[in-house]
Amino acid sequence: NEQNEQNEEEEEEKEKEGPIEPPTGSLVIHACAPAEKGDELFNTFGQQNNASLLHKYGFCELRNAYTNVCVDVALVEDVVGGTKVRDAAAELGVDVADDEYFEIEPDGTIEEALLAVLGRAHRGEDEEDDPTTESPDVQASLRTILERRAAMYVGKGKGKGEESGAFPRGIDDGGSVRYAVPAGGGAVGVDAARVLRDAEL
């Protein structure tokens, strides 16, 4: 009985201290529903586009409903000027250090943060307001950014059995593109790059 009382007192003390903080560098996964010993548990990556999945986890989904085109901040800096982009982003509260890319939705909608940064970066010293997204300077920068982004997939001519600008593809007997599928599904390596490229083009 003394041991039980001591255990109960320790539990009460722990509850007063609040939730247990995991040690630094550890990964803790919490179940969202009760599970019995031996139950199969699944971890979700959430609603992420293939570029994000490839960058963070090393694979792409073959049919990803959240496929966006990602535009690296470095590309925007290269087109507009690194200092202009960083200064504009800082003024607007856009974190270009942690968020390494801007996104374009499958329907062609360009991320508001990119449009805002471009507008601020093109604001003249004597101007109080940022140019609109329809301004010639913003449109020219946006066009150049998108052209350079698309050009990342363009090859340097046709190789043996290759399309210009395409990776060599495996084709199954039915004439469909064949991707290597890892144990968890999706595609990895060069096949993941193909999936990403095909979805973005």
The string over 3-15, giving b where at least 16 C-beta atoms fall within 10 Å of a residue's C-beta and e elsewhere, is eeeeeeeeeeeee
Mean pLDDT in residue range 114-140: 89
Read off the pLDDT of each residue in 3-31 and give the average, rounded to a whole number: 68
The pTM (predicted TM-score) of the whole model is 0.55
Packing angle, helices 189-200 and 50-57, rounded to 10? 160
Name the least confident of 5-9, 48-52, 79-83.
Answer: 5-9
25-54 tens-digit pLDDT: 777 777 888 889 998 888 777 778 887 888
Instruction: Summarize pLDDT for 140-183 with one digit per residue, the tens.
Output: 999 999 888 888 765 533 333 334 333 334 434 444 444 444 44
